[in-house]
Amino acid sequence: MSIPLLPSWPPSLPSEAVSYLSDQATDYALAHGIVYRPVALSPTTAPALDSAIHAPFSLLPSPFPRALFDRAQSIQPAYDLLYAQVSSDHTFLQRVIGQSVIHVDEFQKQLWDIYISVKDDLVQPLSLGLFRSDYLLHDAASEGEKGSRSGELELKQVEFNTISASFGALCTKVNGLHRHLASTTDYLGAHEQLKSLDNLPLNAAQEVLIEGLAKAHAAYNATAQAYVLFVVQEGERNAFDQRPLEHALQAQGIRVVRQTFAEIAQRMSLTGQDRKLLLAHPVLGEIEISVVYYRAGYGPSDYASAKDWETRKQLERSRAIKCPSIAVQLAGAKKVQQVLAEPDRLEPLLSTIGMENKVNEMRETFSDLYPLDTSPLGQKGYELAQTEPQNFVLKPQREGGGNNVYREDIPGFLAQLEAGEGEKGAVAKRQAYILMSLIKPPAGLGNYLVKAATKDARAGAVLAKDTVSELGVYGAVLFENGAEKVKVHHHRSGGYLLRTKGRESDEGGVAVGFSVIDSPLLI
């Protein structure tokens, strides 16, 4: 595939032009709900509910190869169905998770214990997956530390998200921001390709997520007015990425209620043989729940006590459709990603779902992935982690960012795992991680990052001269287990998230301040 050269970025703009565009963009962001709640004044207080700041965004869209953008879109349906199939394959999950990860990862063990205890006693056969597959551009020409925009670019998958795939609303709005600036200012003539809206693809991410939730609600077939339950974190700053989904559902006549695990524990009950999920809401009264949509529950910190785990179990047992189910969440473990990259693992699964024609395209997105167990591949991975750590990242079975170990920190981290343990214990602890070759994004790309003022930084556009952009593609699939393969009731893929950060940051979280929300300028 021929990939055009990416232009040097950003184009030259005088300071007055940057300020003008930044002012226009900031007002657009505030007017269109591209906002966060501000950081709490102290660790012991919640964010203020009556004020907001704009979410971080890029002033200009970032160049991205059109052919690779299209490829990411074209293979998303296969990825959606693949992970739906994995979640329905108990034998696969038992081998990959039940016989490995849970022995060294307490969080995964808690999920697995719930999965095992309920899998043969489910009253709701349907599951909803709202997925996002994340990619980086890899510059094959940079292997010799040359670093270029040479056209030897490849699309490499970072991870596949099966729970709380966020920013579908905000990324749609930032796409609108960039299209607004292009159509009203031509970006002051900064670059020829910024003048054409055809290079700024419309973003259907929010629509894909909303349609998935609406289809699940309809499939629940409530006899009375039922609500979609958003399970949220206490003091959520990113509520305005969630509220647009809620408001769009409500515009269709589908009511939504937001609750934390603690609130659900106090108010929930399962009634009847079909275990209808009811909430005794203090204002709304007793309400029935059709869909449980998790925007919390993806990490250990969301489960403060055994009571929270029991709440998750009871939600899983209920008639409500889960997004995701425990099985779908387990399918998103990094260990699954690593196993799928092994020889001959992907092919039979894709054949089962009729997507065998996508094998080569999907494999081309895989980085080198290794277990850290006693298998020959695991032993090779451990050796590479010790001898060539600068080329790798160590990943645990976690969502949400901030959990990885990078480059030269890897040998010392592994040594800590092994300290005071015999070889058997050391190997066991290592199995909680996978080793992934580092993706090397092209050099020569920067952007103006626009952030709200904090105690550490001023407001406005700041030039980041060396940036990295990560592309995510969304998918929604409503399915149930079949005798051999999943039975699909609704499936739609599309929309995208582009996050951009300074190259010096290994982590990519927007909410925690590392990245800004961006959109692609297709080249």
Active site residue 399: yes
Is 406 among the annotated ligand-binding positions?
yes
- Which of 87, 127, 161, 199 is flagged as catalytic? 161
Catalytic residue, candidates 211, 263, 288, 399: 399
- 344 burial (CB, 10 Å; 0-12 / 13-18 / 19+) is exposed
Pick the catalytic residue: 37, 71, 132, 156? 132
3-class SS of residue 251? helix
Q: What angle do CA 46, 168, 264 make, to 5 degrees?
A: 45
Tell me whether residue 189 is annotated as binding.
Answer: no
Q: Are strands 487-502 and 467-480 parallel, antiparallel or unpaired?
A: antiparallel
The answer to whether 296 is a known ligand-binding residue is yes
Which of the following is catalytic: 156, 334, 335, 485? 334
For residue 484, is it left (φ>0), alpha (ψ between -120 and 50) or beta? alpha
> Is 391 marked as binding a ligand?
no
Annotated binding residue 293 = no
Cβ(493)–Cβ(76) below 8 Å: yes
203 is in an annotated binding site: no
Set 317, 395, 440, 451: catalytic member: 395
Tell whether residue 275 is among the known ligand binding residues. Answer: no
Q: What is the DSSP letter of 269?
A: E
Nearest-5° Cα angle at 471, 126 to 473: 25
The answer to whether the beta carbons of residues 160 and 13 sit under 8 Å apart is no
- The response to whether 264 counts as a known ligand-binding position is no
149 is in an annotated binding site: no
Q: Determine whether 475 is an active site residue.
A: no
400 annotated ligand-binding residue: yes
- Residue 282 counted as an annotated binding residue: no
Which backbone phi and psi does 366 adopt, to 5 degrees? -80, 135
Distance of CA 448 to the CA centre of its chain: 24
The answer to whether 400 is a known catalytic residue is: yes
Q: Could you confirm whether 509 is annotated as catalytic?
A: no
Beta carbons of 465 and 446 less than 8 angstroms apart: yes
- Is 510 flagged in the annotation as binding? yes
Helices (H) and strands (E) in the chain, counts: 16, 22
507 is in an annotated binding site: yes
Neighbours of 30 (CB within 10 A): 14
Reply yes or no on whether 199 is catalytic.
no
* Three-state secondary-structure class, residue 402: coil
Q: Is 298 marked as a binding-site residue?
A: yes
Whether 159 is catalytic is yes
Q: Is 439 annotated as a binding residue?
A: yes
Is 403 annotated in a binding site? The answer is: yes
207 appears as a binding residue in the annotation: no
> Is 242 annotated in some ligand binding site?
yes
Is 397 annotated for ligand binding?
yes
Does residue 132 carry a catalytic annotation?
Answer: yes
Catalytic pick among 154, 159, 207, 211: 159
10 cis-preceded (ω within 30 degrees of 0):
yes
Contacts of 451 (CB under 8 A, 6+ apart): 56, 457, 459, 462, 513, 516
Indicate which residue of 173, 290, 499, 519 is catalytic: 499
One-letter-per-residue 3-state SS of 433-472:
EEEEECCCCCCCECEEEEECCCCCCCCEEEEECCEEEEEE
Q: Is 503 annotated as a binding residue?
A: no
3-state secondary structure 328-375: HHHHCCHHHHHHHCCCCCHHHHHHHCCCHHHHHHHHCCCCCEECCCCC
- The partner residues of 478 in beta bridges, in order of sequence, read 128, 490
Q: Is 221 annotated as a binding residue?
A: no
The answer on whether 132 is annotated among ligand-binding residues is yes
Catalytic residue selected from 62, 166, 290, 515: 166
User: How does 257-285 read in b/e, with b if 16+ C-beta sit within 10 Å?
Assistant: bbbbbebbbebbebeeeebbbbbeeeeee
Q: Is 436 annotated as a binding residue?
A: yes
* Residue of 400, 460, 509, 513 marked catalytic: 400
401 marked as part of a ligand binding site: yes
166 is in an annotated binding site: yes
- Binding residues for substrate, by number, are 132, 163-166, 236-238, 242, 295-298, 499, 510-511
- Binding residues for ATP, by number, are 159, 334, 395-404, 406, 436-439, 470, 501, 507
- Binding residues for Mg(2+), by number, are 159, 161, 399
- Binding residues, by number, are 132, 159, 161, 163-166, 236-238, 242, 295-298, 334, 395-404, 406, 436-439, 470, 499, 501, 507, 510-511
Instruction: Tell me which residues are annotated as active site.
Output: 132, 159, 161, 166, 334, 395, 399-400, 499
